[in-house]
Structure 1
Amino acid sequence: MTGGSVDHPLFARLYARAGPLVDRRGLAARRAALLAGLSGRVIEIGAGDGRNFAHYPAGVTGVLAIEPEPLLRRLARLRAATAPVPVEVVDGLARRLPAGDASFDAAVACLVLCSVDDPGAALGEAYRVLRPGGELRYLEHVRAPSPGLRLVQRALDATVWPRLMGGCHTGRDTPAALRRAGFAVPEPVRFRFPALPTPVSFHVLGAAHRPGTGSRH
């Protein structure tokens, strides 16, 4: 396995502490919708502190959860012990996934593509490890629909926001990046969370597919 820790201890503590509040305010339901109906082998890219694990359905035979931040990885391993499906939590980077070609039925990216240093490389890796016909489920905050807020996002992303928020970028266009990586991308569900318009309120929830067909592993 190829590791690659990313050490953001302050952000990791804030992220873990905020998790219960944002889940109670509606994110838990979005996590459940993100994972509903999955089956077979799944790779979760940037698993954070493992808050998705409780929502995996019974049809999933195993999850390989990648998390490079040490504190979040430790917390994720605690949650993996009580998950309803087998979960293995490992160190690794989105741009260099510790997995073989076409070895998973599905991939999951939840609130992670905003913070990877090379989204194109990360999505290329997701494409590589998915079997033909496999799907990538994603839940991400993305570029705002209004020109004014996009200007704010660009200003934040060019200055303080990534440094303060563990590499996060507020204004990435994830559906467009998925298409550039070769995925088939139906229109995702778009929603605000929180409801007030902020630079990180605009979210998408969707399922992209690696074209082709292939048998399950």
Structure 2
Amino acid sequence: MSGTAPAAATQGSDLWARVFATLYDPLLWWGERAGMGARRRQVLGRARGRTIELGSGTGLNLPHYPGDVEELILTEPEPAMRARLDRRVRTTQRNAKVLDASADQLPFTEESVDTVVSTLVLCTVDRPDAVLREVERVLRPGGSLLFLEHIRSKSPRLARWQDRLEVPWRRFAEGCRCNRATLELIRASGLEVDEVQEETWQGMMVPIVRPLIIGTATKPGGRHS
């Protein structure tokens, strides 16, 4: 199989990526007001020390970080999203660095990070196991993965709809797998899940992405300061 996509397909993909980046905040607007913003604050309030965010998108997490985070690095590999992220960082005047980096190839040395943040990211990556290995690699012993992710539903009926709509939703939502069993992947990664809450994404118009998990996982071997 060729490693180079046809030019027309690549141009179409790039065009949709730019359109999706433009639509992203408006699509999530009501859900943010209906409770997702509060959930972001709940998760990000635990960020400490050197903090790396995976797939920061347009920067919706940015206002919710504590002011005493020592260092904040926002990674985003998609150019259209990253351009909006850059603008949000400048607008909020938050002391944060934006980095072009994918979640499965983080440009940080081993055990050099206190906190990794993943919000609505592990559903979009092709190899979540590789991403979680990277998280485990860069975290210091006792460091934390803070996560807010949507997951495969426990409702058999909704799970069937997630399976049926997985392909068209993935194409629309730039790689999002609505039926991914993300909590099980985190538990199998070598990180220790300290706590997890199951929630519903109120205000989200698309039911297949409403089931959520919110929680913390820790790298064994030390105590996070």
Instruction: Tell me whether 1:180 sits opposite 2:188 in the alignment.
Output: yes
Higher alpha-carbon deviation: 101-110 or 145-154: 145-154
Q: Which amino acid is the alignment partner of residue 141 of structure 1?
A: H
Q: Which has the higher helix share?
A: 2
Matches within 5 A, 1:111-190: 111-157=120-166, 159-190=167-198
Q: Which amino acid is the alignment partner of residue 222 of structure 2?
A: T
Instruction: Tell me whether 1:100 sits opposite 2:102 in the alignment.
Output: no
Counterpart of 2:9 in structure 1 is: none
Matches within 5 A, 1:2-81: 7=14, 8-81=17-90
Counterpart of 1:3 in structure 2 is: none
Assess, with a 3 A threshold, how the Cα gap between structure 1 residues 212 and 156 changes in structure 2: closer, same or farther. Answer: same
* CA-CA distance at 1:37 after TM superposition: 3.1
Unaligned runs of 5+ in 1: 1-5
Asked if the contact 1:131/1:214 (under 8 Å) is kept, the reply is no
The C-alpha deviation readout for 1:112-153, integer Å capped at 9, x for no partner, is 111111111111111111111100000011010112221221
TM-score (normalised: structure 1): 0.89
Counterpart of 2:119 in structure 1 is: 110
Assess, with a 3 A threshold, how the Cα gap between structure 1 residues 15 and 195 changes in structure 2: closer, same or farther. Answer: closer
Instruction: Mark the structure with the bigger radius of gyration.
Output: 2
Asked if the contact 1:123/1:178 (under 8 Å) is kept, the reply is yes
Higher alpha-carbon deviation: 30-39 or 15-24: 15-24
* CA-CA distance at 1:22 after TM superposition: 2.4
In 2, Cα distance between the equivalents of 1:86 and 1:59?
11
Higher alpha-carbon deviation: 34-43 or 20-29: 20-29
Asked if the contact 2:35/2:202 (under 8 Å) is kept, the reply is no
Unaligned runs of 5+ in 2: 1-12
In 1, Cα distance between the equivalents of 2:211 and 2:155?
11
In 2, Cα distance between the equivalents of 1:28 and 1:117?
26
The C-alpha deviation readout for 1:149-191, integer Å capped at 9, x for no partner, is 212212222x311111100011111211111111101341111
Alignment coverage as a number of residue pairs:
210
Q: Which amino acid is the alignment partner of residue 153 of structure 2?
A: A
Asked if the contact 2:195/2:217 (under 8 Å) is kept, the reply is no
Matched-pair identity in % = 38
Higher alpha-carbon deviation: 51-60 or 102-111: 51-60
In 1, Cα distance between the equivalents of 2:130 and 2:85?
24
* CA-CA distance at 1:93 after TM superposition: 0.8
Asked if the contact 1:56/1:85 (under 8 Å) is kept, the reply is no
Counterpart of 2:220 in structure 1 is: 211
SS of corresponding position for 2:84: helix
In 1, Cα distance between the equivalents of 2:160 and 2:194?
27
Counterpart of 1:191 in structure 2 is: 199
Counterpart of 2:10 in structure 1 is: none
Higher alpha-carbon deviation: 19-28 or 204-213: 19-28
Q: Which amino acid is the alignment partner of residue 41 of structure 1?
A: R
Higher alpha-carbon deviation: 54-63 or 129-138: 54-63
The Cα RMSD (Å) is: 2.0
Higher alpha-carbon deviation: 68-77 or 131-140: 68-77
* CA-CA distance at 1:194 after TM superposition: 2.4
Asked if the contact 1:16/1:72 (under 8 Å) is kept, the reply is no
